[in-house]
Structure 1
Amino acid sequence: MGNIASVVISNCTREFDKEYHYLIPDKLLGSVKPGVRVIVPFGAANRPREAYVLSLPDSTDFTGLKEIQKVLDKDPVLNEDVIELVLWMKDRYICTYYDAIKCALPSGIGIKSQRVIKIKDNGYISDPHSCKLKENVRKILDALVECGNECEFEELKEKTDVRNFPRYIKQLEEAGYVEIEDVYTSRVKEKTVRVAYLALPDEEIIEEIESGRIKRIQQIRVLEMLMENEYISVADIMRFANVSASVLDTLRKYGYINYKDVEVKRDPYKSRTIERSEPLKPTPQQADALEKIKGKIEMLEFGEVLVHGITGSGKTELYLQLIQYVIEKGRQAIVLVPEISLTPQTVERFKSRFGDNIAVLHSRLSLGERYDQWRLIKEGRVNVAVGARSAIFAPFSNLGIIIIDEEHESSYKSETTPKYRAAEIAQRRCKYHKAVLLYGSATPSVETYYRAVKGEIDLVELTERANQMDLPSVHVVDMRKELDEGNRSIFSRKLQQEIDASIKQGQQAILFLNRRGYASFVLCRSCGYVVKCINCNISLTYHAFDERLICHYCGYTIKTPKQCPKCGSKYIRHFGTGTQKVEEEIKKEFPECSVIRMDMDTTTCKNSHEEILQKFREQNVNIMVGTQMIAKGHDFPNVTLVGVLAADSLLNVGDFRASERTFQLITQVAGRAGRGEIPGRVVIQTYNTEDFSIVSACKHDYAGFYKQEILLREKLGYPPFKNIALLIISGTSDRVAFSSAKETRKLVESEFAALNGAGVEILGPSRSPVTRINKRYRWRLVIKCRDEDILINVLGKVSDMFYKKRGKNNVELSVDINPLNML
């Protein structure tokens, strides 16, 4: 291995996104390894920049190499397999190296730099008055001495308030009075606590007390506490011994005790007492599934398995026993759960089985908590990671299984660059580790089920509930008939009867509506004006709690107008229904019942999910109203009724997956009913009783739904038969964005023409369904192509050419291959 490092620069544009070679100076040989962060001089000005070492090549074709200045990590932050993954992600998702690297590291691990001014001991410290210096220079040096002989550049500048401060610092540096050092620190660090410990053996301390040399009772109390413990935090000693800091400082001054900083782990679950649980006896179907999947794990080869199990069939117990098997084989496991399903109940099921051998990773943790959980994995102190999408990058070194629960969930696809799918990342990692990739769902995605039917992956089916209970009975209500018969309530008469019965019997109900807020929009009945967001071409949603209209895309908000902003009419009011309004209507219809709501508006605070779910469970609240947050991952034995208020609301979205999402959501939310000993009932309200996705969901008939949906996909050329690329061209000027979109189409056509068309279909440019977001106009191209590799290769070249040609125009190109959201 030579003295050359190949690095990529952090946070750079596509223009500079490539590997650069640097020399490793002798003093850093052995410290520079693949996966560590370093500081390198970059560009003509040799500005220090953070970089990641990807490899140590034996030779280079470049000359005049610069030297690495500093190594920031003792151990690599990127594993060997993660480095390989980064290289693949750059091409697959048409992003920069740094975009891919950021995905693999916890937020806050980035480096921040500070310029620190240090005073040199050249006579000024010992005898400041002997030096003949200008007033401003002396002022700076005096401030440095006051700060302990060193101070951060900006802090010193503010403290001294000297004009032309940088010039004086340069003069002091040239004169040898100060030195300037760049200090690099991580934005998030290990948490430490100051502790005290005995500096002498216990026998000597006892002798000092008995001989009377230590007389004060406060000091004796402290020493007695420390003789019983290896160390105690300073804060605890002061609280429990009822002493001041000066008592401890005196003991330290005379050599009886000393201080040190001890790291403490930020554990988000430390306040909870979780009882250990034992594996349940598998049902016959679970036993067959376990045997089959364990056989695949034993083969030490990459393999994929789809577990298609109805709601309540015991998929989680299956996961737990497979993970235990993997751990016993000396290997590790990652379990992905959709963010909205990653409830305390879910986490506790895993912690009760694996105790401290598990790390949890999700967005509701603080930066420090996430960093500590990541380090537990990195340092090999746990063998299981449970988390949302980003947990797929957990830095395990010997993976045996990756489990993706509710694999159909759209939250497993990133909506920001790089627009990766967790399943694709999982495939790469499992291939590297020769591990098994397990997909689990009651409603698998059409693409995954298609692969299972074609024999590309193994299929395991669980068709019975683990508690031997039947699936809930389903009643469909045609809301058109309700309206014709004079019922103008948002609740059908059937649902009202079922809610009333549920309340009287002391049972619980869940009401599902996939729209938060109080009303969909605010409309003037005189002139037809709809209040829209000034940044996005989308109607504002009315929220009754604080009488505000809010944009759910950019967050823009205004007070609800009392009269029409356009014509001045007082006949302006809200229309449509959201979860807030449902909650209010329930309180009117059933004044004696208790109601709780769970949506994005009620779960913005840390632990708010947990508090709502705990209240619903422990206080036996009659009804929970919510959006898709309540549709998955919850197990409430006393919930016997589920009401779906607008089953067809998702069908009217301009997306080829609308039918699939409708079927999945109805099936999943219906599966919350009857999970205990009492049979469940489901009431589905819809204006479209004939749609095959709703009909199939009511019958719990996945096979019937899939059979019809796959025929439509094949006929229209949608995945899994063709790959789709969505290109969004956005800009602050509508005209410039449209012009750029037309130029982009020409680039795409030119590249495909060189490949003789490659069976491609290009649609657009046309306006996006949401035409403006955050003051940026949006145009889109839709490309269909059978060969994914060709599509990726072409769009990578198009993206490079786009940014080279855009000049000073404020336009951006977003590329998403096989998107889950066409809006």
Structure 2
Amino acid sequence: MNNIASIAISNTTRKFDKDYHYIIPDKYIGSIVPGMRVIVPFGKSNRLVEGYVLDVLESPEVSSLKEISRVIDEKPVLKENMIRLACWMKRQYICTYYDTIKCMLPPGTGVSSTKVVRLKKCEGGFKGNIKKIIDVLAECGGEMEYEELKKQVNTKTFAKYINNLKEQGCIEVHEEFTSKVKEKYVRAVYLAKPWEEVVYDIETNKIKNIKHIRILELLAENEYIPVGDIVRFVGVSAGVLDTLKKKGYLEFEDIEVTRDPAANMPYERTLPMKPTQEQQVVIDRVKSMLDSGEFNEVLLHGITGSGKTEVYLQLIGHCISMGKQAIVLVPEISLTPQMVNRFKGRFGEDVAVMHSRLSLGERYDQWRLVRDGRTKVVVGARSAVFAPFDNLGLVIIDEEHESSYKSEIVPKYHAAEIARQRCIMENAVLLYGSATPSVETYYRAKTGEIELLEMTKRANNMLLPEVKVVDMRNELNAGNRSVFSRCLQNEIRKNIDSGQQTIVFLNRRGYATFILCRNCGYVLKCPYCDVSLTYHSHEERVICHYCGFTVKNPEHCPKCKSNHIRNFGTGTQKIEEEVKKQFEGCTVIRMDLDTTTGKNSHEEILRKFRDDNINVMVGTQMIAKGHDFPNVTLVGVLAADSILNTGDYKAAERTFQLLTQVAGRAGRGTIPGRVIIQTYNTDNYSIVCACEQDYVSFYNNEILVRKNLQYPPFIHLASVILSGVNDKQVLNRALFVKNELCRHFKDNGSTAQILGPLRAPLAKIKNKYRWRIVIKCEESDKLIDVLTKVSDGYYSKSAKNSVALSVDINPVNML
């Protein structure tokens, strides 16, 4: 008889993060299974906390153990495959059980407790504050939340009085546990009599009111109708429904409704297209991998427009026919509406959507559909990799090179690493897809670690767009001070005149990148971060893009009081304004982080651009990937070399990827595309190769640089950031951490290169100074072991230390 539960406690530090054993009370034996949430007493004070059942065991010796207090769930929220994944993540990313489990559950499902004080008896004879407590409770019906009662009584010794009353048996204090998000129910009506009886009553004039008849006729065609809908359709008040209920014609019932984010998204059912020769080769090979029922990993390197999505659709169709399930990851939330349309069109209601722009209720309901086996396909952003399927057959990572697949908060996981581990555990196939694969993934393919499949032709047999590079130094020499080269100006005008669409890409939002006083040289900076403030013209404010600090745009220099202060640099807001100014009558739409804060703003902007045939779309990297607009024939890239100067070892790779991806938006219809790339650095290999759409040449150049400088994929990289409000204290702690790293690497006999501590490239964020240590190590396991010992040792010795330590293994952002 399994009478012991192994439980992970929520919200603990790593010091206390381990399996705790609790007795399963007799009433719960047989009903508690791994993956359920329970409430248990924890610590010396036996405070009630939430925990997750990791395993159920049998033990004859239970005398020293505490009992589970209550069970939260009727069915597990974690399946056994997800529990195994959580255990792997805990070690891999040096975090707690709860950190990993939070990734797997929709937000809002966490349990919060509320203390409630209830009056049991009131015999009188009390005085002072104790009488006040009794009186307040009596006035509120004998029950009140602990914190609200404390606020109303307003005494420093409140807890003492409460304990006194508890001992006398006058009150009881208990905890209630609730979640923010729950199932949604609506009040609905249905016919309480057989339709034949209703028809008879209508024909014999027993029912004479026309609105009553219309309500009953509507219900005859539908099993249930929500009260709100029927009131709106027929134009009656809810009281009319009450009247029909009293006469015995209707009954009310609360029914559960699923909050579907794609409910109002139109889609047409589609059939599989006839594959091209290259597509067929890929489909056949991956199908054979699926049929084997074993773990396989494959990179699909297909140029932009080669039809990778159709390949995905046909492979998922095969996966479903085998009785298995599939996950499709997309890098940007802005891609999801388009991808959802494609997948809904092919697979209908078998598709669930998971990404962070959904409401809490929508995310909860989509998660439950997946957990309960009511869908077969999940399409979503990074978090969708945790979709709770129990018969996974295929995971597809579209645009696998994208940095947004890496989490910037604990646990700092990469979706590709999670997907790979899931596929290993569940014998599934992992398919990476990209026109510009990451150097690390392509290296693994070229060295034979994973299989490489390629598609080198566009699916519609169209040629890749013609790319032209414009040297902006020559434009300046010719007297052109505009952000648009003369060539780009002419091509935009041609497109406007011919009714074709243009995309203008600049990877910098806002209106101006910094504010400078021309009198004293003062640059307006964020007081809490080591970055300049960005000017946003619509709000007439300057904003920090790191912490959100904002002030009105100053009219005078804060330092010298001169009025010679103005904005410099260019962002997407300014480009939007320049397009309107230079091309009279031109329609423009902008897509960046500032215009996509609303829930459905991505869909609305993309729909408007497509359906209203807007002349020009201006945007950041949101517009660079995955979108398919047949009437876009021109792409203009401004400041193509801006990323090259960020001080990141991946700068050249990111430049090549962005330029290639944004260029791929042109010429996807029947009209050939053109791309104009503006740069001051025409000779850099990343720009030259992007213009020629030549990934192999870029890779051959980049892999040599990585090998010479010892960067991934030849070593594993770790970034250790220490941050705090006292700069000197942060540096001292960083030096201590470096010494600890050196000692532990020496002890485990591994070699590592430890660089720093040096100030981080962003030396101050949110009023905290930042010092960075970079570690290069060939052995991943030994790197993780050392970082685990150093991190755990750091916090165990300095639990109240004001200097925080953050570890990121194989970071995608070195800032």
TM range, smaller chain = over 0.9
Distance 1:474 1:244, change over 3 A: closer
Q: State the match for 2:59 in structure 1.
A: 59
The offset of 1:235, in angstroms, is 2.7
More displaced stretch, 582-591 vs 643-652: 582-591
More displaced stretch, 563-572 vs 107-116: 107-116
Alignment of 1:728-747 (within 5 A): 728-747=721-740
The offset of 1:338, in angstroms, is 0.7
User: Is contact 2:336-2:380 (8 Å) kept?
Assistant: no
Aligned equivalents of 1:660, 1:530: Cα separation in 2: 31
Alignment of 1:335-414 (within 5 A): 335-414=328-407
1:574 pairs with 2:535: no
Q: Secondary structure at the match of 2:644?
A: coil
Q: Secondary structure at the match of 1:784?
A: strand
Q: For 1:76-115, what per-residue CA distance to the aligned partner results, in whole angstroms no more than 9, with x for missing partners?
A: 1011111011111111001111111101111111112233
Distance 1:678 1:223, change over 3 A: closer
Q: State the match for 1:792 in structure 2.
A: 784
The partner residue of 1:781 within 762, 773, 779 is 773
The partner residue of 1:621 within 614, 617, 622 is 614
Q: Secondary structure at the match of 1:356?
A: helix
The partner residue of 2:650 within 634, 647, 657 is 657
Aligned equivalents of 2:21, 2:770: Cα separation in 1: 39
Alignment of 1:176-195 (within 5 A): 179-195=172-188
Q: For 1:37-72, what per-residue CA distance to the aligned partner results, in whole angstroms no more than 9, with x for missing partners?
A: 100001111000001111113338886110000110
The code of the aligned residue for 2:37 comes to: R
More displaced stretch, 205-214 vs 388-397: 205-214
The partner residue of 2:587 within 582, 594, 613 is 594
1:647 pairs with 2:640: yes
Q: State the match for 1:450 in structure 2.
A: 443
1:760 pairs with 2:748: no
User: Is contact 1:343-1:609 (8 Å) kept?
Assistant: no
The partner residue of 1:815 within 799, 807, 812 is 807
The offset of 1:19, in angstroms, is 1.3
Q: Secondary structure at the match of 2:57?
A: coil
User: Is contact 1:144-1:156 (8 Å) kept?
Assistant: no
Distance 1:173 1:215, change over 3 A: farther
Alignment of 1:426-437 (within 5 A): 426-437=419-430
Aligned equivalents of 2:65, 2:154: Cα separation in 1: 41
Task: Give the root-mean-square deviation of aligned CA atoms.
Answer: 2.6
The code of the aligned residue for 1:402 comes to: V
The offset of 1:619, in angstroms, is 1.1
Aligned equivalents of 1:593, 1:225: Cα separation in 2: 49
Alignment of 1:115-514 (within 5 A): 115-117=115-117, 136=132, 139-140=135-136, 142-145=138-141, 152-154=145-147, 179-198=172-191, 226=219, 229-240=222-233, 243-246=236-239, 248-249=241-242, 257-514=250-507
Aligned equivalents of 1:218, 1:286: Cα separation in 2: 58
Q: State the match for 2:7 in structure 1.
A: 7
The offset of 1:549, in angstroms, is 0.7
The code of the aligned residue for 1:99 comes to: D
Aligned equivalents of 1:588, 1:219: Cα separation in 2: 60
The code of the aligned residue for 1:811 comes to: V
Distance 1:498 1:219, change over 3 A: closer
Aligned equivalents of 2:113, 2:171: Cα separation in 1: 19
Distance 1:228 1:468, change over 3 A: closer
Among the aligned pairs, what percent are the same residue?
61
User: Is contact 2:2-2:29 (8 Å) kept?
Assistant: no
Q: State the match for 1:127 in structure 2.
A: none
The offset of 1:116, in angstroms, is 4.0
The code of the aligned residue for 1:774 comes to: K
The offset of 1:234, in angstroms, is 2.8
Instruction: Count matched residues.
Output: 812
Q: For 1:640-689, what per-residue CA distance to the aligned partner results, in whole angstroms no more than 9, with x for missing partners?
A: 11111111000001110000000000000000000011111111111111
The offset of 1:610, in angstroms, is 1.2
More displaced stretch, 441-450 vs 489-498: 489-498
The offset of 1:117, in angstroms, is 4.8
The offset of 1:545, in angstroms, is 1.4
The offset of 1:259, in angstroms, is 3.1
Distance 1:160 1:143, change over 3 A: farther
Alignment of 1:83-94 (within 5 A): 83-94=83-94
User: Is contact 1:21-1:60 (8 Å) kept?
Assistant: no
1:805 pairs with 2:797: yes
Q: Secondary structure at the match of 1:650?
A: helix
The offset of 1:31, in angstroms, is 2.4
Q: Secondary structure at the match of 1:651?
A: helix
1:47 pairs with 2:47: yes
User: Is contact 1:31-1:71 (8 Å) kept?
Assistant: no
Q: Secondary structure at the match of 1:107?
A: coil
Q: State the match for 1:554 in structure 2.
A: 547
User: Is contact 1:736-1:809 (8 Å) kept?
Assistant: no
Aligned equivalents of 1:237, 1:154: Cα separation in 2: 42
Distance 1:161 1:751, change over 3 A: closer
User: Is contact 1:119-1:144 (8 Å) kept?
Assistant: no
User: Is contact 1:341-1:633 (8 Å) kept?
Assistant: no
Aligned equivalents of 1:303, 1:239: Cα separation in 2: 54
The offset of 1:343, in angstroms, is 3.9
The code of the aligned residue for 1:112 comes to: S
Q: State the match for 2:741 in structure 1.
A: 748
Aligned equivalents of 1:318, 1:502: Cα separation in 2: 32
The offset of 1:183, in angstroms, is 2.2
Q: For 1:304-328, what per-residue CA distance to the aligned partner results, in whole angstroms no more than 9, with x for missing partners?
A: 0100000000000000000000000
Distance 1:150 1:227, change over 3 A: farther
Aligned equivalents of 2:713, 2:237: Cα separation in 1: 70
1:78 pairs with 2:85: no
- Structure 2 residue runs of 5 or longer lacking an equivalent are none
Q: State the match for 1:101 in structure 2.
A: 101
Distance 1:30 1:199, change over 3 A: farther
Aligned equivalents of 2:765, 2:39: Cα separation in 1: 38
Distance 1:255 1:532, change over 3 A: same
1:534 pairs with 2:527: yes
The offset of 1:557, in angstroms, is 0.6
Q: Secondary structure at the match of 2:645?
A: coil
User: Is contact 2:464-2:667 (8 Å) kept?
Assistant: yes
Q: Secondary structure at the match of 2:18?
A: coil
Q: Secondary structure at the match of 1:429?
A: helix
Distance 1:168 1:61, change over 3 A: closer
The code of the aligned residue for 2:543 comes to: I
Q: For 1:754-787, what per-residue CA distance to the aligned partner results, in whole angstroms no more than 9, with x for missing partners?
A: 123x221000000000000001100000000000
Aligned equivalents of 2:754, 2:111: Cα separation in 1: 43
Q: State the match for 1:35 in structure 2.
A: 35
Aligned equivalents of 1:485, 1:359: Cα separation in 2: 55
Distance 1:259 1:687, change over 3 A: same
Distance 1:209 1:351, change over 3 A: closer
User: Is contact 1:143-1:156 (8 Å) kept?
Assistant: no
User: Is contact 1:4-1:57 (8 Å) kept?
Assistant: yes
Q: State the match for 1:717 in structure 2.
A: 710
Distance 1:643 1:211, change over 3 A: closer
The code of the aligned residue for 1:596 comes to: I
Q: Secondary structure at the match of 1:355?
A: helix
More displaced stretch, 346-355 vs 439-448: 346-355
The code of the aligned residue for 1:798 comes to: V
User: Is contact 1:692-1:705 (8 Å) kept?
Assistant: yes
The partner residue of 2:630 within 628, 634, 637 is 637
